[in-house]
Amino acid sequence: MRSTEKSPSRLRHLRRQIPAPRSLIQKSWARWCQQRAKTMRRRMKPWRKSPIPRKSPIPRKSSIPRKKPTEREEVLMEINRVFIAGNLTRDPDLRMTPGGTAVCDLGIASNRRYRRQGEDQMQEETCFVTVTVWGRQAENCNQYLSKGKQVVIEGRLKYDQWADKESGKNRNKLTVVAERVHFMPRSSEGGSPQSGSSQGGYSTPAEQSSGGESDGFPQGQPFNDEVPF
C-alpha cells in the first residue's frame, strides 16, 4: 500500500498555499493605499505651482462689464437732425463775417394744433425758433424771403453760450443751423417746393424757378464751405 505520510517538503508546500489571516490582508491593503496616496500627491504637486491661473468664480452681476457699443449704435446715438415747417416772423437779417461769409438769421413760427381730452375745441400752440443760414443760401434767403413766407428748414441744433457785456451774466441760446432751406410756394400758386438738390442745397420760389442764372441762382454750386461745424 501507498504510504499516507507526507514528506517535510510536501508539508512546506502546503503551508505556502494556506491563506494568510484576514487582519494581515487588511494591513497590507491599508499600507498599499497609503503608498498610493503619497505617490499621487507627489505627482500632483508640480501642478499646484503651475503658472496657469485657475478659473475665477462667476463674477457678480454688478461687476460684469457692459458690452461695448457697436459702430451702428455709436452712429445712432450721435444723430442731430431737425425738420421745421413754419412762417417767417420777420424779414431776414443778413450780415457778413470778417472772412466774407454771408450769415442770415431767420425767425420762424411753427404752429401745432391739438385737442385736449374731453374737449371738442381745437387748441393751438406756437413755437418760435431762430434759424441761422450760411453761405449762398443766406444771400438767397435775404433776396427772396420776407415776413410771412412759409419755409421748410432741414438742419441741426446748436447750443451757444456767451457772457453779457452789460450785466456780466452768462447767456445761452438754442438755435437751428440750416443745411437746406426749402421755399414753399404761395397758396394761390399751388404745386410743391423744389427739392433744391440741383441748386446748391436750397430751393427757389416757384415764381423764380424758371429764371435761370439771371435770377441769381447758380446751377450746381454748393454754398460757402466756411460754415462752422
What percent of the chain is predicted at pLDDT more than 70? 55
Does any domain span residue 196? yes
Does any domain span residue 151? yes
pLDDT top residue among 208 and 97: 97
Which residues, in sequence order, are bridge partners of residue 161?
A: 172
**pLDDT tens, 157-194?**
998 888 888 888 888 888 999 999 998 886 655 555 54
Cα 193 to Cα 16: distance, rounded to the nearest angstrom = 118
Mean predicted confidence (pLDDT) in 210-216: 36
Domain membership of residue 106 as a residue range: 82-215
Cα 44 to Cα 64: distance, rounded to the nearest angstrom = 33
Cα 153 to Cα 156: distance, rounded to the nearest angstrom = 10
Tell me, what's the pLDDT at 103? 92
Does any domain span residue 103? yes
Does any domain span residue 56? no
Q: What SS3 state is found at 215?
A: helix
Does any domain span residue 34? no
The tally of domains found in the chain comes to: 1
Q: How many CB atoms within 10 Å of residue 89?
A: 15
CATH of the domain at 167: 2.40.50.140
**pLDDT tens, 103-128?**
999 999 998 888 888 788 888 888 99
Query: Taking Cα atoms as reference points, which of 136, 112, 147 lies closest to residue 203?
Result: 136
Cα 65 to Cα 20: distance, rounded to the nearest angstrom = 66
Express the helix, strand and coil content of the chain in percent, nearest 5 each. Answer: 25, 30, 45
Mean predicted confidence (pLDDT) in 196-209: 39
**Residues 158, 79, 193, 135: is their CA dihedral positive or negative?**
positive
Tell me, what's the pLDDT at 205? 41
Cα 74 to Cα 148: distance, rounded to the nearest angstrom = 40
**pLDDT tens, 48-100?**
555 555 555 555 555 556 666 666 655 556 788 999 999 999 999 999 999 89
Does any domain span residue 64? no
Does any domain span residue 92? yes
